Amino acid sequence: MRIFFAVAIGLAALSTTAGATEPALAVKYPYNAAQAKAKASGCPLVVMIGAKWCPACRQMEGELGAIEWSTAGVAFGVLDYDSQPEFCQSMMVDQQALPQVIIWRHFVGVTPRAAILAAAGVVPKEKPKP
């Protein structure tokens, strides 16, 4: 009985991760296309950072996927945390919390979070050292 249970858990884990390289919205709404649209038109940019393995991300994908972004007057893009971790972390408020939605009212380009905080006079909390 224990062996069957362990095999079933292993197969379930494989079936949810095998072949799933990016969240579905990341394919439908690629970040690069949204960034280009925001730069060209000056419209706000909305970016969701998520991961395929994250249950909250999948739930948020369902909510955000129901919006007709092409007529909303904003550029919408999705980043997969697992495929671009360094780039995602440069934009994330909390490096360990997923999903995150970031909104730029006037998009002019990507500025690292540290530079934005420094310009605002905010000193970020230091990460705990292991």
pLDDT bin (cut points 50, 70, 90) of residue 113 is: low
Residue 15 counted as domain residue: no
Residue 125 counted as domain residue: no
Average pLDDT, the chain: 73
Residue 126 counted as domain residue: no
Residue 94 counted as domain residue: yes
Residue 9 counted as domain residue: no
This model's pTM is above 0.75: no
Domain region containing 99 = 21-119
Residue 130 counted as domain residue: no
Q: What is the mean pLDDT of residues 32-49?
A: 89
Q: What is the mean pLDDT of residues 47-66?
A: 90
CATH number at residue 80: 3.40.30.10
Number of domains the chain is built from: 1
Residue 78 counted as domain residue: yes
Q: What pLDDT, on a 0 to 100 scale, did the predictor assign at position 10?
A: 32
Measured between alpha carbons, how far is 44 from 105 in angstroms, rounded to an integer? Answer: 5
